[in-house]
Structure 1
Amino acid sequence: MSVLPEGLEHGGRLNQAARQWGIPRSDWLDLSTGISPHGYPVPSIPEAVWQRLPEDDDGLDAVARDWLGLPAGAGCLPVAGSQAALQTLPALRLPCRVGVVAPAYAEHARAWQQGGHEVVLLTVDEVEKALTGLNVLVCVNPNNPTGALLPAATLRRWHQQLATSGGWLVVDEAFLDASMGETLATDAHLTGLVVLRSLGKFFGLAGLRAGLVIAEPALCHALQQALGPWAMSHPARYVMAQAIQDQAWQQQQRQRLREDRKRLDGLLNDAGLFPRGDSHLFAWCPGDQSQVHFEALARQGVLVRYFAEPQALRFGLAGSEAQWDRLRSALSALA
């Protein structure tokens, strides 16, 4: 049986998995995404929010600035998920040379390629030497899919070098809230630094399609013009404002995710899969038996992400005791 195709496909493709493996959708344990299984408890949405178009001066900007501790000179643009922003950013530059720190979320490279830019995939160790020949560098921090976290000092050094010649550093921080990493959003008043944030992962609200772009005001304005009016729905803006103001829930979520990641690591180590990565939302397990293990888990109705180059599996978090027990049983069968 062939594996689920990798590349530009994403986790959570349960319908495809059900067809391929002949297991009903309802019988799967889906650990293929990096989305928290503990979602923010969405409050009741007032009827007026559904009836009226969203307005940019609804206070979300101030709430987001306070949440991230942004300096006065930084722009802050709510968007319909960071995906909308990364697909639109390439249109704001003339064709140029773009480096993507790889492996990485594949949509970044595709968006710049489709925008007519030359894209070069680089390992972390190759970035320093390549910077002088780049106009844009894209970095996912923590990395998706490996979970590796780069020091903020390294990213700041890269940004400074790029900015001297009019270049950009684009930092995708979709998983940063569920890690011990330092955000670069507090530096985003500086020319040439673009930071993408998402509510989908840490808050468990992927279906909301809500995110932020933090950059200099002129770039945020250009991006807003490219996206057009009402690019983010009124209900999404309302829920985002509630979620990012709820500091008590966020603190509880961080502790819960740290504990879940430790629990996941224990199960994976017992199975000989040796988890890596600094994200509390998923574990990265490289190994030359990854495809075999992927198929063995899929036959048991456990869906994880398989990566062919380099060979690895990525495991998300279980969301209940029954799911943890099922994962433990499935991993025991691998041994």
Structure 2
Amino acid sequence: MRHGGDLSEAIARYGGTEQDWMDLSTGINPHAYPTAGHLAQADWASLPTSKAESDLIAAARRAYEVPSHLAMVAAPGTQALISQLPYLVERTTVATLSPTYASHEESWASAGHTVMKAPSLEHLPQAARVAVVVNPNNPTGTLYGSEALLATAQQLSARGGLLIVDEAFADCLEKASLLPHLTDLPVVVLRSFGKFYGLAGLRLGFMIGSHPLCEAMKERLGTWAVSGPALKIGTAALGDDIWRREMRNKLVAGAHRLEKLVASCGMVREGGTPLFSLISGVDAEALHAHLAAQHIWTRHFDYSKTWLRLGRPASEPHWQRLETALTSYKP
């Protein structure tokens, strides 16, 4: 599996229709932000406006606590930013904290950079001028504090380098973001909108960093990079403090529930975030196949035979289906 979320692969291998399947293969919030009432027909018929983009950036600045001296770019999903960012940096040696989201390594390698893997911040290769950290990490959930990240940024700055922090899952953890602590160090932060707000199909993400880098990214993305509906819904969602606070609590409760369920089945929760859990100590392919036979799609990894990642069930019937499937598994 290269990524989670592709039910066409599940259906091709195990049958059924999309309605039959419960997709737990991603870390996307199953409780999506309500979009009803936010769009008019004209929003679909008109080109995106500069004011709508400015409104979105203002809402994102406030929600993410972005320092005023940093620039922001809105993009059609963080995947677009991940693929374009390596072309804004002269070819060099890049370290990715691994295992992690594979697209980072793939994108830097495709752009001609030398890519090395590091197990932690403390073990960054001396040759690396750029470091990529997913924080909290996917799939392990490892979370580095601001002091450790800023020390790494200082270290890279002395080499004329850059720290890139992918905070795709930071929304679901209060005070997990590095953004409020940034000063003038060479740091780029990526934020994903669709995961926490459950609107991955909207395709919206942000890059925060120095003005020159952000201007260069805007040029690469081109005019009208983000659709009008995405601008409008993103502005409304990012401005909804009550929904954000309540959803964090709801997701944390779901994480605790899944941890208890996994433990009751004799399995171990290795790590994760409120949006996904990583199970360890199992035959991952066998458990993945067992769940798939019952039309529950999960994420296993080619680099680990014992890790399986589970997202969050969307409803009580889905929780019951998952519990029945897990308890019926016989290693």
Same fold (TM over 0.5): yes
Residues 110-153 of structure 1: CA deviation (Å, up to 9, x unaligned): 110110101111111xx434343111100101111112212221
Q: Name the residue aligned to 1:92.
A: 88
Report how far residue 313 of structure 1 moved.
0.1
Taking structure 1 as reference, are residues 220 and 20 closer, same or farther at Cα in structure 2, changes over 3 Å only? same
Q: Name the residue aligned to 1:165.
A: 159
Q: Name the residue aligned to 1:141.
A: 135
Counterpart check, 1:179 vs 2:180? no
Q: Name the residue aligned to 2:14.
A: 21
Structure 1: runs of 5+ lacking an equivalent: 1-5
Report how far residue 67 of structure 1 moved.
1.5
Q: Work out the CA distance in 2 between the residues paired with 1:180 and 1:191.
A: 23
Amino acid at match of 1:25: E
Counterpart check, 1:328 vs 2:320? no
Q: Name the residue aligned to 1:40.
A: 33
Amino acid at match of 1:16: E
Among 304, 313, 318, the residue aligned to 2:308: 313
Report how far residue 21 of structure 1 moved.
1.6
Residues 251-301 of structure 1: CA deviation (Å, up to 9, x unaligned): 110111011111111111111221132410110012251121111111121
Counterpart check, 1:230 vs 2:215? no
Counterpart check, 1:123 vs 2:119? yes
Among 294, 300, 319, the residue aligned to 1:300: 294
Q: Name the residue aligned to 2:267.
A: 273
Report how far residue 20 of structure 1 moved.
0.7
Amino acid at match of 1:20: R
Q: Work out the CA distance in 2 between the residues paired with 1:187 and 1:219.
A: 19
Amino acid at match of 1:322: P
Q: Name the residue aligned to 1:106.
A: 102
Of stretches 39-48 and 213-222 in structure 1, the one that deviates more from structure 2 is: 39-48
The answer to whether the 8 A contact 1:75-1:220 is kept is yes
The answer to whether the 8 A contact 1:149-1:277 is kept is no
Report how far residue 91 of structure 1 moved.
0.6
Q: Name the residue aligned to 1:256.
A: 250
Among 213, 216, 222, the residue aligned to 2:210: 216
Q: Name the residue aligned to 1:3.
A: none
Taking structure 1 as reference, are residues 162 and 173 closer, same or farther at Cα in structure 2, changes over 3 Å only? same
Taking structure 1 as reference, are residues 173 and 158 closer, same or farther at Cα in structure 2, changes over 3 Å only? same
Of stretches 147-156 and 187-196 in structure 1, the one that deviates more from structure 2 is: 187-196
What SS is found at the alignment partner of 2:194? coil
Q: Work out the CA distance in 2 between the residues paired with 1:196 and 1:325.
A: 35
Q: Work out the CA distance in 1 between the residues paired with 2:189 and 2:50.
A: 20
Q: Work out the CA distance in 1 between the residues paired with 2:166 and 2:148.
A: 15
Report how far residue 23 of structure 1 moved.
3.3
Q: Name the residue aligned to 2:72.
A: 76
Counterpart check, 1:12 vs 2:5? yes
Residues 213-233 of structure 1: CA deviation (Å, up to 9, x unaligned): 111111111110111111111
Q: Name the residue aligned to 2:284.
A: 290
Of stretches 156-165 and 96-105 in structure 1, the one that deviates more from structure 2 is: 156-165
The answer to whether the 8 A contact 1:54-1:230 is kept is yes
**What is the percentage of aligned positions where both structures have the same residue?**
37
What SS is found at the alignment partner of 1:17? helix
Q: Work out the CA distance in 1 between the residues paired with 2:57 and 2:124.
A: 36
Q: Work out the CA distance in 2 between the residues paired with 1:60 and 1:321.
A: 34
TM-score of the superposed pair, with normalisation by structure 1:
0.93
Q: Work out the CA distance in 1 between the residues paired with 2:166 and 2:46.
A: 31
The answer to whether the 8 A contact 1:149-1:181 is kept is no
Taking structure 1 as reference, are residues 207 and 329 closer, same or farther at Cα in structure 2, changes over 3 Å only? same
Of stretches 318-327 and 18-27 in structure 1, the one that deviates more from structure 2 is: 18-27
Structure 2: runs of 5+ lacking an equivalent: none
What SS is found at the alignment partner of 2:207? strand
Q: Work out the CA distance in 2 between the residues paired with 1:235 and 1:65.
A: 19
Report how far residue 302 of structure 1 moved.
1.3
Q: Work out the CA distance in 2 between the residues paired with 1:61 and 1:270.
A: 45
The answer to whether the 8 A contact 2:87-2:111 is kept is yes
The answer to whether the 8 A contact 2:24-2:296 is kept is yes
